[in-house]
Amino acid sequence: MSNNDKPLRIDVVDVGAVVAPSDTTILNALESAGVHIHYHCREGFCGACRTKLIEGEVEYTTDPLAFIDDDEILPCCCIAKSALKIKVSL
């Protein structure tokens, strides 16, 4: 198993830690762990799941079409490339 295949830790502010498989979107990992997050798509165009990225690196599986700030990610269409610290809107 290469380093890129290892599950990665996602620390969610005010919620706790989640483990994300390397091949699943952050949204899927959060949902699997029971973390409530708003979303309306899974393709990066609505922006409802906009989340603050505090630490770490992500890779987009689809180019996001919604506007996001430099310190934000769209969990619906990205995967963790390192351990993350994020803050979701609850």
Predicted local confidence at residue 4, as pLDDT = 63
Torsion sign (Cα): 63, 37, 8, 41: negative
Per-residue tens of pLDDT for the chain, all 90 residues? 344 688 999 999 999 999 999 899 999 999 999 999 999 988 889 999 999 999 999 999 999 999 999 999 999 999 999 999 999 986
Domain ranges of the chain: 3-87
Predicted local confidence at residue 5, as pLDDT = 80
Tokens representing 43 are 């393709």
Predicted local confidence at residue 85, as pLDDT = 98
- Strand-pair partners of 9: 19
Q: Look at the domain 3-87 and name its fold.
A: Ubiquitin-like (UB roll) (3.10.20)
Stated pTM of the model: 0.89
Taking alpha carbons only, the member of 7, 12, 47, 40 closest to residue 24 is 7
The Cα–Cα gap between 29 and 22 comes to 10
Predicted local confidence at residue 1, as pLDDT = 39
Predicted local confidence at residue 2, as pLDDT = 40
The Cα–Cα gap between 24 and 26 comes to 6
